[in-house]
Every structure is written in C-alpha cells, then in structure tokens.
Chain A
Amino acid sequence: MSEAPSVVLVTGVSRFLGGHLAARLAADPSIERVLGVDTTPPSREMRRRMGRAEFVRVDIRNPLIGKVISTAKVDTVVHASLSGNPAQSGGRSMMMEMNVIGTMQLLAACQRSDTVRRLVVKSTSAVYGASRRDPATFTETTEPKAIPPGGYAKDAVEIEGYVRSFSRRRPDIPVTTLRFVNLIGPRIDTSFVRYFSLPVVPVVLGYDARVQLLHEEDAVAVLERAAAEDLPGVFNVGAAGVLMLSQAIRRAGRISLPVPQPAVPLIGRFTRRARLVDFSPEQLRLLNFGRVVDTTKLQNEFGFTPRWTTVQAFDDFVAGRNLRPVIDPATFGRAQDVALAVARALPSGT
C-alpha cells in the first residue's frame, strides 16, 4: 500500500532535473513540505519556479544531511543529483566526490532515519557500458559486457552497488532506481546537448552510434511519479525509437567531422580545454557503439510511457534552441530543381 508523500527531500535542486522536480512537487497541495538540497543556490529563475519549496544549502557529503532529514521528518528522498557534467560540478574529481561520497552519506542518513519510507535514485544507462559485444537493446537484467572503465559510468555503477546494499539493510524502504538515457530538450544543459550544439560535430570515422534520448519533461515526470508511489525496482527510462548519430547531426543541420579512432581522445581533450564539450572516455565510446535500452518494464510495471519519442524530443531540442542549420535545407531543394532543369534541357531521344 503506497502512501502519498508529505515531506519530500530532493537533492541537486540547483540543476535542471532536481529544480524542476521540486517545482512540480511544490505545486502539489497534498504535499506538506518540499526541501531542496544542493551545494550552490539555485538560480533566481529556478527559485521563482520552485515557489514554496524550501532550499537548504547543505553538502550531502556532510553528516548534516542526516539532521535535515530527521528534523524535517522527511518521508520521501529523491536523489536526483547524480551528474555527468563535470563543468557544472567543479571538475572531474569533484564530480566523482559529489556523486559517490554524497550518495554514501545520503544513504547512511536514510538508513538511520525512522521517518524515511521511500527512496528514489537517479542513475544512468551508462552502467551498461558500450561495446561491440553488447546486444542491440539492454534490459534491466543484461550483464554489461564491458564494465565502464571510469568516470561518470563507474560512479553510477558504484552508486547502484551502495543502493543495493542499502535495500538489503533496510528492506522496509522501497527503492526505485531509474536508469536514464541521455536527456535532451530546449532547456536542459548536458554534455550531449552541448555536443549537438557545436557547428561542426566530431564523430568517430567508420562508426555510427544508435542514440536513444529522453525529453527533459518526461524525465521530470518519471521522477515525480516515482516520488508519489511505491514502485520498487530498477527501471530503464528512455523514449521510444532511435536516431542514428549521423542522422541526428543532419537533422540539427550540423556538419559531422569524422575523426579516426586513434585521434578521438585528442579531439576529446581539445573540446574539453576549449570548454566546448566535456566528454569522459566512456562517453566517447558511446559515440562508437551507441546504446539502446528496453523500456518494456517502465511501461508495464512502472506505468509510464514517455510523451515524446526520441525523434520528437530531438526535434523539440533543435527548435527550442533555435539551432540554425549550417547549410540551409532549401539549398538541397534548389539543387534538385537545377538537376531537373538540366535533365529537361538534355536532348530527348538519346
């Protein structure tokens, strides 16, 4: 029997997902209090949006978080602060600290608490890795063929390990782990969004990845549903359908720059130095093989069907960001007219 939440704690409210989730929960009158936690205060725009949600500036790596949970009698914890964007989290090692150590502290506080009765953890489909030996789609039970070597994906694998041991120790608290695919949309800022915003997009020569995306608003809606009901388990969260990387680049009107495999780390370093895109090595592997997850369990057991398909989400991102095509699509139409005119002008009967 799942009870409606009355006091909800959301981590990572300064970023898109946490902030918008807190705003959505604050708009629900049946929820008594919404506490937003982060190390940096949310932007003015976000704070306005969050309405009656309270912001607590606390580092989740600090045991103080336990005090926040116990004094506010928090009953639902949504851990949405897992980040794959080092630029936003103050560097790569800081990101790892926040992701892994922060989760450990938060779980420790939840384990101690006698008020918490629901936990939602945002994870990532990066835990499946990406290799040539992987099946076309990953289900929640697929064993990864190549354990992610480091970075964000390894953080997520470790976090999921801690979450599993937490649920062993506190079997009375239902835990929902959500493995999100790459998010996209007109407002969210991720490495992937920045990547597609480059005018010339580097791709790996000879490889074309399958890309599955999720619209930012579907991501918020999934978290909201997980916070409101007891839906224990691990769920893949992704939109229906697939775009090829080359296709996505063309849809956005960008130009792809094929880079031979050995030069890929070099380009990766360059875009990081130039503060364009910060892709960790395992995200670069995604550009080789791509990753598609099976969302049957999300639809049947979790009871959620994303409103946007991958293609629609991507088009919404392109339209919302006002990405101007580098080559105007009308050029192609004109080129065809010219070719037709030439064909017509050719002497017939040859």
Chain B
Amino acid sequence: MPEARVIPLRSDGGRPRPRTRPAPRRASRPGVGSLQERTDAARGIEPRGEVVDAVEGGGEIAALPTAEGPTDLEARVAEVGEFLQRRLTGRYTVDDFGFDRDLTENVVMPLLRPLYEHWFRVETIGTENVPLSGGALLVANHSGTLPLDALMTTVAAHDDLPVPRYLRMLAADLVFGLPGVGAAARKAGHTLACNADAEALLSAGELVGVWPEGFKGIGKDFADRYKLQRFGRGGFVSAALRSGVPIIPCSIVGAEETYPKIADIGPLARLLGVPYFPVTPTWPLLGPLGLVPLPSKWYIEFGEPIHTDAYEPGAADDPMLVFNLTDQVRETIQQTLYRLLAGRRNAFLG
C-alpha cells in the first residue's frame, strides 16, 4: 500500500504538512446561472492575473474594465436573486431524509467556511483515504462541549476532498427535538443515529459520519481532553459490516480547546433537559460573549480505511468481531491523536 507509507513520514516528530488548497471552490458550486458563466468567459479573455482573486474576494475588486459584459457585482446579484427566487417559490428538491442540497451549498457551507478557514485554520491530513464515491463510514472523536467538530468535519469533507462530498451525520435524538436546530440538521442532511438510517444512507452510497462517544465524549471535562471515551455499543461497526462499506477513522485535534469545560451544573442541566450544563472560563460568566469559541488551531486527520467487505455476510451478528473492530477503530484514533498532539507545539498557534 503506497499511501500508507506517507503517514509515518510526519509521525516522527514532524508537523503535519499545510493543507493544500483544492482547485477554486466556486467552480464546484451548482446552481450558478448563465450570467456567471458569461462573466467567467468575459474574464477569461481578460489578460490580467488578479481576476481569479476577484472571484474569491467576493466582489470588491470586481469591476473590470470590460465595457459590455456584466460585472462581478451584477453576476453576484443575479446569482443571489436566482437563489432567492428558487427558495421563495419552492423550486428545489430534498431527499427522503430532508437533505436540502441547494440550501447546504449556498447557505450552510458559506456560513461555516469563515470559521473553518480563518478562526480554526483547519488543516486536513490524509484526504486521499476518503473514497471519492460510494458508501463509507467516517468515525471520529467527539469533543468541545458544542458539536463544532462535527460541523467542521462536514466542511472538510466538502471543501478539502478532490471531489466535494456531503457528510451525512448521525445525531442524537435530542438534536431533532430542539426547535430550529432539528430542522436545520435535517436540511443539512443529518439524521437520527439508528441502524435503519445508517444502513439506508450507507447503501445509498453516502459518506456517513458518526461520533460514537456521544455525550460522554463531547461533554467531558477539560482535564480529560483527548482521552477517548467508550465507543457506544459498536452499532456503527455492525452498520458498516452489514453494508460492506469501509470504516475511516478520523482524528480531530483542536476541538477540545474551543470551549474548555471546567465544571458542570447538574441541576440546571436536568431542568433544561440537556445532558450537561457546561461552565467554561467565559461561560456563563461573560454571558453571550462566552459563546465565542476559543480560536484553537485544528487538525483533522483521515486515517487509513478499515475494509469490511471481506467478512462473510453474517459477520454483523458476531458480537466478538464487532467488539474487536470497535476497539481497532478506537485505538487507531487514540494513537493518531497522541501523534498529532506530540507534533503540536501550541494549542492556538499549531
């Protein structure tokens, strides 16, 4: 396996290599009207080099000295106008899970992207380990009091893979009971963590994300950071075995420092019906300001896939095999976390 040789190069004390930017992001966006294409065509004959930056820059240096062709601002207005028209007349499609690609592409991702690129400066490692198509189960460590790690992983899967993929996450039922949050989660393509939904998505060839530590992982104290909790009951392994898809261990470093949870107000949590009520150095002391995550430097490493299609059909019903595979995934993630942490000098500077 030639790819497998690449990872140990960084493991001996070296720092992860900087993220290589994929080709211009905007090119992959669907729903861009003909106006945009014409603008690009007009820009293509423009000899100046800064024109590519104009696309990324969001239209500040947009106005090009072309006399007739629509300017970048006009193209943007047309794009937004078409999007709003599409939304207001309901001319878009959702799948059976409620996944709204149009909204995810044009609203959810642009909202998360600044956080991903500028606040957490996420670096992805091992993107070649994620298959470009077909079902795969991404298993990651959970941390940070609020599930920012999950949201950042969806951006990583969309922006940093050679082909953008939508990570369909399996979330706790609590999420779907919350007004606003539940509806948004459905529209972004996420669904309830249960075997039926996991298998339906995996066999439909989707990239599914699961955080098997659940509330125990995300709500652990800052003192326990980067110590993996129990990996559920291995339900994710049996789902992968039944669908015959590879399991991709994913290690996220940096999320633990976003909201360092130093205490838990149990009675308040019970009153609100949530698993924990966190106390961080800034929350609830500084009020809404405490909701701003600390700008830690993040690394997301996709590990080598663990293939499950070699096992025989009844393997999912063999608890010992399921436990062993669960442990294997857990150990892989834990070791990768230690390695990444050893290479990191500072939680905020990387």
**Residues in A neighbouring B131, C-beta threshold 8 A:** none
For chain B, residues 89 to 148, give those with C-beta under 8 angstroms from any C-beta of chain A.
89-98, 100
Minimal Cβ-Cβ distance residue in B for A339: B77
Minimal Cβ-Cβ distance residue in A for B97: A136
Lowest 3 A-B CB distances belong to which pairs?
Answer: A206-B179, A336-B81, A251-B90
Whether a CB of chain B sits under 8 angstroms from the CB of A229 is no
Asked whether A136 lies within 8 Å of B89 as measured between CB atoms, the reply is: no
Could you name 15 residue pairs across A and B whose Cβ atoms are closer than 8 Å? Answer: A132-B174, A135-B192, A136-B192, A208-B183, A210-B94, A247-B92, A251-B91, A311-B93, A329-B85, A340-B74, A340-B77, A340-B78, A343-B73, A346-B73, A349-B63
Q: 13 other contacts beyond A136-B96, A204-B179, A250-B90, with CB at 8 A cut-off?
A: A132-B173, A135-B192, A205-B179, A241-B96, A244-B100, A251-B90, A251-B91, A329-B88, A329-B89, A333-B85, A336-B84, A344-B70, A344-B71
Asked whether B89 lies within 8 Å of A250 as measured between CB atoms, the reply is: yes
**Residues in A neighbouring B73, C-beta threshold 8 A:** 343, 346
Cβ contact of B173, chosen from A133, A247, A250, cutoff 8 A: A133
CA distance in complex: A103, B252 (Å): 58
A131-165 Cβ-contact flags toward B at 8 Å (1 or 0): 01111110100100000000000000000000000
Asked whether A206 lies within 8 Å of B183 as measured between CB atoms, the reply is: yes
For chain A, residues 252 to 302, give those with C-beta under 8 angstroms from any C-beta of chain B.
261, 289-290, 292
Asked whether B183 lies within 8 Å of A336 as measured between CB atoms, the reply is: no
**Residues in B neighbouring A249, C-beta threshold 8 A:** 90
Asked whether B98 lies within 8 Å of A244 as measured between CB atoms, the reply is: yes
**Residues in B neighbouring A71, C-beta threshold 8 A:** none
CA distance in complex: A251, B73 (Å): 29
CA distance in complex: A312, B126 (Å): 44
CA distance in complex: A348, B73 (Å): 9
**Residues in B neighbouring A204, C-beta threshold 8 A:** 179
Looking at B37-45, B194-202, B221-229, B255-263, the stretch in contact with chain A turns out to be B194-202
Whether a CB of chain A sits under 8 angstroms from the CB of B176 is yes
Whether a CB of chain B sits under 8 angstroms from the CB of A350 is yes
**Residues in A neighbouring B76, C-beta threshold 8 A:** 343
Asked whether B187 lies within 8 Å of A242 as measured between CB atoms, the reply is: no
Return B289 CB to nearest CB of chain A, in Å: 24
Return B26 CB to nearest CB of chain A, in Å: 19
Whether a CB of chain B sits under 8 angstroms from the CB of A94 is no
Return A249 CB to nearest CB of chain B, in Å: 8
Given the interface pairs A244-B94, A336-B78, A346-B73, the reply to whether A135 lies near B196 with Cβ below 8 Å is yes
Whether a CB of chain A sits under 8 angstroms from the CB of B186 is yes
B170-200 Cβ-contact flags toward A at 8 Å (1 or 0): 0001101111101100110001101011001
Minimal Cβ-Cβ distance residue in A for B103: A244
Asked whether A207 lies within 8 Å of B182 as measured between CB atoms, the reply is: yes
**Residues in A neighbouring B186, C-beta threshold 8 A:** 208, 210
Return A333 CB to nearest CB of chain B, in Å: 7
Asked whether A136 lies within 8 Å of B191 as measured between CB atoms, the reply is: yes
A190-234 Cβ-contact flags toward B at 8 Å (1 or 0): 000000000000001111101000000000000000000000000
**Residues in A neighbouring B46, C-beta threshold 8 A:** none
Asked whether A210 lies within 8 Å of B98 as measured between CB atoms, the reply is: yes
**Residues in A neighbouring B191, C-beta threshold 8 A:** 135-136
Whether a CB of chain B sits under 8 angstroms from the CB of A243 is yes
